[in-house]
Structure 1
Amino acid sequence: MRIAVVEDNDGLGDALVDALTEVGHSPVRMRRGADVLLGYHDMDVVLLDLGLPDMDGLEVLRKLRAVSSVPVVVLTARDDERSVVRALRGGADDYVVKPARLGELHARLEVAARRRSASDDSATDGVVLGDIVVDLVGRSVAVAGRDIALTTKEFELLAHLVTRRGEAVSREQLMDAIWGDAFVAISRTLDVHMTALRSKLGRPGTIATIRGFGYRWDT
């Protein structure tokens, strides 16, 4: 399991990397919040300290949750109830107070990753929305029985929205899912592809714009 160990204390960070390596995982040491925001794509789970040098860990968690559902286990010295509540409500899968027992921490990481994996495995292979049929495996779409030619990015945009139909999806989530980095991708690129997708589908109103936030596939 690939684990992002986000910890700026070298002694503790190195110890965690060594301990997780010994039990068969592939930990990657990260020292700043910016590191995990750029590198989480390749991780199965994130072990996140809250006291980071460039930004507060709760801010890192907020930004991460805006674009990704990667499992996050907070490991911090903060044991006050307010921090625990804010982290869990902010999307953390678990919260562990330092010093942590390695056996327990290992178990919590595995449980968080397994829970998210089970959720991902429940995804469907295709979606039928009125006269729109989206084949997520074959990467094709038909409207009223007619095949619609979409570019790779247009299809990925469509797939992301239809698998979350009825759910508000932020512009950052879309840019991260399709272009790989919400914090670098050019927003105008999303607008161009969204306009083309709507035109090709020819179904006004199916993709609603949420002003100042993003989009929603209306069921």
Structure 2
Amino acid sequence: MPKTILIVDDDVELCALMKDFFAQQGFHTECAYDGHAGLLRALEGKFDLVILDAMLPVLDGFEVLRRLRKQSAIPVIMLTARTAQRDRIEGLDAGADDYLPKPFGPEELAARVRAVLRRLGKAETLRPDVMESGGLKLDARAREVRCLGRPVDLTSVEFDILELLMRASGRIVSRDELAVVLHQRRSTPYERSLDVHISHLRKKLESAQQRNGSSDSERKPLIRTVRGMGYLFSI
């Protein structure tokens, strides 16, 4: 299956050229032409890598990267016409995996893309597909959840929320992090859809515990609300 790349650059002609070139290299590419649109697209979760220009309208590339890194570990290669060392340092400190000054040769960019994806592939081998805690087992590859061996029927969004909470390994996950699962830019006090999904997920997990014969004393809430901070999966 071809890797999918998001190109975020306001140079429409350059985007078209890169898209054609990467298609010849066996990649699928999509484009966004300003920082805000690029950030939203990058957070969709369907891309394997982002090529991000530093000088973007609406939201510059450095700010896009800083916001992206709060919510995603997707690999990013930054492009810029600015060659000052401080700009390269700023990009790398913001979380870029690689940094390429303009103008550049498409072959070099493609080589850097392949190198970053190779490094990612090695790291992914260390990322567990199966997680277990408190009688709950989540298989990320099969997208399956079981409680004491019995399947738990979750919606796609509920599964994604549970996976994010379990991968956090006891860390509090903010509402903004979880809002990404709902393809929102940022949660607000008036946005209740996240609360609804969390409520449904809790009820399904509690029901699964009851069906499997857990007593009231044995059952504990698997998802805790930490007021003013977010949610915590109880390990």
Normalising by structure 2, what TM-score? 0.74
Separation (CA, whole Å) in 1 of partners of 2:226 and 2:118: 33
Which residue matches 1:189?
Answer: 193
1:134 paired to 2:98? no
Q: Secondary structure at the match of 2:17?
A: helix
The residue that corresponds to 2:11 in the other structure is: 9
Q: Does 1:203 align with 2:217?
A: no
SS of equivalent residue, structure 1 residue 169:
coil
Asked if the contact 2:35/2:58 (under 8 Å) is kept, the reply is: yes
The verdict on how the C-alpha distance between 1:148 and 1:183 changes in structure 2, with shifts beyond 3 A counting, is same
Stretch deviating more after TM superposition (194-203 or 167-176):
194-203
**Cα distance between partner residues in 2 of 1:198 and 1:29:** 38
Amino acid at match of 1:214: G
Using the alignment, how far apart are the partners of 1:98 and 1:210 within structure 2? 46
- Tell me if structure 2 keeps the 8 A contact 1:84–1:95: yes
1:74 maps to 2:90:
no
Which amino acid in the other structure matches residue 19 of structure 2? V
Q: Which residue is equivalent to 1:24?
A: 26
User: Counterpart amino acid of 1:139?
Assistant: E
Q: How does 1:102-113 map to 2 (within 5 A)?
A: 102-113=106-117
Taking the aligned partners of 2:21 and 2:66, their CA distance within structure 1 comes to 28
After superposition, residues 166-185 of structure 1 pair within 5 angstroms as: 166-177=170-181, 179=182, 181-183=183-185
Give aligned-pair identity as a percent. Answer: 33
Change (3 A) 1:216 1:93: farther
Cα–Cα, structure 1 residues 32 and 192, in superposed 2: closer, same or farther, change >3 Å?
A: same
Q: 3-state DSSP class of the match of 1:24?
A: coil
The TM-score with structure 1 as length reference comes to 0.79
Specify every segment of 5 or more residues in structure 1 that has no aligned partner in the other structure, as ranges: none
Deviation per CA, 1:161-218: give whole Å up to 9, x if none: 11221334332222223x2x122777422223334544626424x5454554433335
The Cα of 1:54 is off from its aligned counterpart by 1.2
Listed one character per residue, the Cα deviations across residues 40-71 of structure 1 (whole Å, up to 9, x for unaligned) are 33322111001111111111112222332221
Instruction: Determine which of 41, 47, 60 is the counterpart of 1:43.
Output: 47
Q: Secondary structure at the match of 1:51?
A: coil
1:93 aligned residue: 97
After the TM superposition, which of the residue ranges 24-33 and 11-20 deviates more from structure 2?
11-20
CA distance in 1, matches of 2:179, 2:28: 28
Q: 1:105 to 1:173 in 2, by over 3 A?
A: same
Q: State the distance in 1 between where 2:158 and 2:26 align.
A: 39
With over 3 angstroms needed to count, the CA separation of the structure-2 counterparts of 1:208 and 1:78, relative to structure 1, is farther
Letter in 2 for 1:203: K
Aligned mates of 2:63, 2:194 — CA distance in 1: 25
Retained in 2: the 8 A contact 1:46–1:73? yes
How far, CA to CA, are the matches of 1:141 and 1:84 in structure 2?
46
Amino acid across the alignment from 1:132: G
Equivalent residues, number: 213
> Are the counterparts in 2 of residues 126 and 133 from structure 1 also a CA contact under 8 Å?
no
